[in-house]
Amino acid sequence: MRYRTLGRTGVQVSSLALGAMNFGRIGRTTQDEAIAMVDAALEAGINVIDTADAYSGGESEEMVGKAIVGRREDIVLATKASLPMSDERNHQGSSRRWLVTELDDSLRRLGVDHVDLYQIHRWDPSAGDEETLSALTDLRRAGKIRYFGSSTFPAYRIVQAQWAAREHHLGRYVTEQPGYSILQRGIETHVLPVTEQYGLGVLAWSPLASGWLSGAIREGRDITTSRSTFMPHRFDTAVPANRAKLDAVERLAALADEAGLTMIQLALGFVTAHPAVTSALIGPRTLDHLHSHLAAADTMLSADLLDAIDAIVAPGTDLAAHEKNDTPPALLNPALRRR
């Protein structure tokens, strides 16, 4: 396992981080399976575990908490907030009112007195940067969080938040957690240059592109991943964007075979090769999945291999741009454009 410094924090983190989204009903991972995966991940040298309040309605945090009992100080523990936790309109977002309440709930579920990294899961256009950053700064001063970061923020919002922190003399985001894979490279255009400019650590989620780069999805096979059951539109090969992904996967599979690598090694090696990326977040559903991911821990791709990947999916290209989660709200909600 390789280790890198998380932005400018001085904290050393593993190049692979364990994402716990599948813990609980989303991935149907049981508590015993979660404990086994945490055990195996720590033994392999992973020292970052990332979860969120919204994962299975808090169940993921509870399962992570039980899995790390007695080992808390060996783990860089990260969680997130802002996605809806109920139908109540104020049980979401990044207002001070909600973040103060929800952090306490996350700490209770995790069974800890602090988290190392608290992340705003998505940009909340209804809350100003000063509102959110002042709340996070106070929570850090109270000792409940060590650092705070953003997740899936558009590049201009990352810049705006850095400006607001300086303007109002508040703590700043020290990390960004964007989606990044061979098939979704759009963040190379704006987000990653911005994170490098401001010295942010980058924890890249979905490096296997929701299973497209796992090796299980190939031409002529039925697509049966855990994601395909609740997001079937993202795997329907009649959709042109999905057809483009499948075509790229076939070419990437041939490239991996020629290099003597698995698709997972190729995919994770690609993400961790970018100088702006600190860690790739893996989200295994089973212990076997985890072991296949761990096999890529020390994979380093040659320049020639990276060039060959560029020839299949050009730098800065998203093969399914409609699947991105950082589209400005005004482009999704007509009311925000016409009021």
Q: Where residue 97 sits, what CATH number does that domain have?
A: 3.20.20.100
Q: What is the 3-state secondary structure (H, E, C) of 6-43?
A: CCCCCCEEECEEEECCCEECCCCECHHHHHHHHHHHHH
Strands 76-81 and 279-282: unpaired
Q: CA 137 to CA 134: how far, in whole Å?
A: 5
Give domain status of residue 66, yes or no.
yes
Give domain status of residue 228, yes or no.
no
pLDDT one-digit tens code per residue, 57-85? 999 999 999 999 999 999 999 999 999 99
Q: Which domain holds residue 36?
A: 3-211+273-299
pLDDT one-digit tens code per residue, 224-250? 655 555 566 777 878 888 999 999 999
Mean pLDDT, the chain, rounded, equals 94
Give domain status of residue 161, yes or no.
yes
Looking at 75-84, 171-180, 213-222, 270-279, which range is the least confident one?
213-222
Give domain status of residue 115, yes or no.
yes
Give domain status of residue 58, yes or no.
yes
Q: What is the mean pLDDT of residues 167-185?
A: 98
Q: What is the mean pLDDT of residues 159-164?
A: 98
Report the predicted TM-score, pTM, of the whole model to 2 decimal places.
0.93
pLDDT one-digit tens code per residue, 203-213? 999 999 999 99
Burial 95-122 (b: 16+ CB within 10 A, else e): bbebbeebbeebbebbebebbbbbbbbb
Burial (CB count within 10 angstroms: exposed 0-12, middle 13-18, buried 19+), residue 258: exposed
Active site residue 55: yes
Which residue is catalytic, options 3, 55, 156, 198?
A: 55
| Helix orientation angle between 31-44 and 59-67, rounded to the nearest 10 degrees | 50
Say what the pLDDT of residue 233 is.
74
Give domain status of residue 206, yes or no.
yes
- For residue 327, name the pLDDT band (cuts at 50, 70, 90): confident
Say what the pLDDT of residue 222 is.
66
pLDDT one-digit tens code per residue, 95-112? 999 999 999 999 999 999
pLDDT one-digit tens code per residue, 36-49? 999 999 999 999 99
Give domain status of residue 322, yes or no.
no
Count structural domains, the chain. Answer: 1
Residue showing tokens 């020629």: 258
